[in-house]
């Protein structure tokens, strides 16, 4: 633990950070081809290590895929947070709260469009809402996508723009809307739409959510 961290770094991963390297390779594979492209042997190949070396760090392929998926979810959170942070505060807290919710949706959809492979990978591993705040799915802000959405909705409620009795479970409504559009656009029958059409639909979709929530 004294010198090898800096010393060997690359030549061989002996006592190095093969785990991180495999994760990074897996992420690139997912970026290019979605969850099915996260192939254990290919990840080891890219890292320059024998196939079975992966088993020192991941129980099996699914464990690697799950780690990649969680990392991708963290990147979704980063994309959302970036959009939210870019919202310029106005003098009206209600306007601001609404802007931030819209920013969540925009960040989510931006990620889906820019990184379709990672987006699909993020949602490819069956999951449960009870894990929605798991630190392993968090972005650099320490928050998961779900948590960022929750904060935006809490903000809406706290300025009186969302009645308290409607607040519970509203995450699922907003999430469904943007998730559906994302899926239809990257994978499904809406992939033929031009960027302008998608942009326009995004605005209208966020209008619908804001109005209909």
Cβ distance to its own copies smaller for residue 11 or 196? 196
**Residue 74, both tokens:** 């963290």
Q: How many positions of this chain bind DNA (CB under 7 A)? A: 29
Cβ distance to its own copies smaller for residue 44 or 66? 66
6 binding DNA? (CB under 7 A): no
Cβ distance to its own copies smaller for residue 24 or 193? 193
**Residue 57, both tokens:** 């760090």
- Residue 185 CA to residue 167 CA, distance in Å, equals 28
Cβ distance to its own copies smaller for residue 55 or 123? 123
In angstroms and rounded to an integer, the radius of gyration of the C-alpha atoms of the chain is 20
Find out whether 156 and 82 touch, Cβ atoms under 8 Å.
no
One of 146, 147, 161, 162 touching its own copies (CB under 8 A): 146
The 10 Å CB-count burial string (b at 16+, else e) for 164-173 is eeeeeebbee
Residue 12, SS3 per DSSP: coil
**Residue 208, both tokens:** 């619908």
57 binding DNA? (CB under 7 A): yes
Find out whether 49 and 136 touch, Cβ atoms under 8 Å.
no
23 binding DNA? (CB under 7 A): no
50 binding DNA? (CB under 7 A): yes
Considering only the stretches 36-44, 70-78, 104-112, 161-169, report the one whose residues sit in contact with DNA under the rule CB under 7 A: 36-44
One of 24, 28, 61, 190 touching DNA (CB under 7 A): 61
Find out whether 112 and 180 touch, Cβ atoms under 8 Å.
no
- Cβ count near 10 (within 10 Å): 8
131 binding its own copies? (CB under 8 A): yes
The contact set with DNA (CB under 7 A) reads 1-4, 7-8, 12-16, 18, 39-42, 48-57, 60-62
The contact set with its own copies (CB under 8 A) reads 36, 123-124, 126-132, 146, 169, 172-173, 175-184, 187-193, 197, 200-201, 204-205, 207-213
């Amino acid at each position: 633990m004294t010198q090898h961290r800096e010393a060997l770094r690359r030549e061989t991963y002996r006592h190095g950070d093969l785990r991180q390297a495999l994760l990074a390779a897996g992420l690139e594979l997912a970026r290019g081809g979605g969850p099915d492209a996260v192939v254990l042997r290919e990840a080891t190949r890219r890292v320059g290590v024998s196939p079975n070396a992966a088993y020192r760090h991941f129980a099996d392929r699914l464990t690697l895929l799950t780690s990649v998926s969680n990392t991708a979810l963290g990147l979704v959170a980063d994309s959302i947070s970036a959009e939210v942070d870019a919202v310029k505060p106005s003098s009206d807290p209600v306007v601001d709260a609404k802007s931030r919710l819209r920013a969540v949706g925009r960040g989510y959809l931006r990620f889906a469009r820019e990184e379709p492979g990672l987006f699909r990978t993020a949602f490819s591993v069956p999951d449960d809402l009870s894990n929605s705040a798991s630190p392993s799915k968090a972005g650099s802000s320490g928050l998961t996508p779900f948590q960022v959405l929750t904060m935006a909705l809490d903000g809406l409620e706290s300025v009186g723009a969302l009645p308290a009795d409607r607040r519970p479970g509203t995450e699922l409504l907003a999430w469904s809307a943007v998730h559906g559009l994302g899926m239809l656009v990257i994978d499904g029958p809406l992939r033929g739409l031009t960027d302008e059409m998608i942009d326009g639909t995004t605005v209208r979709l966020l209008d619908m959510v804001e109005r209909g929530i």
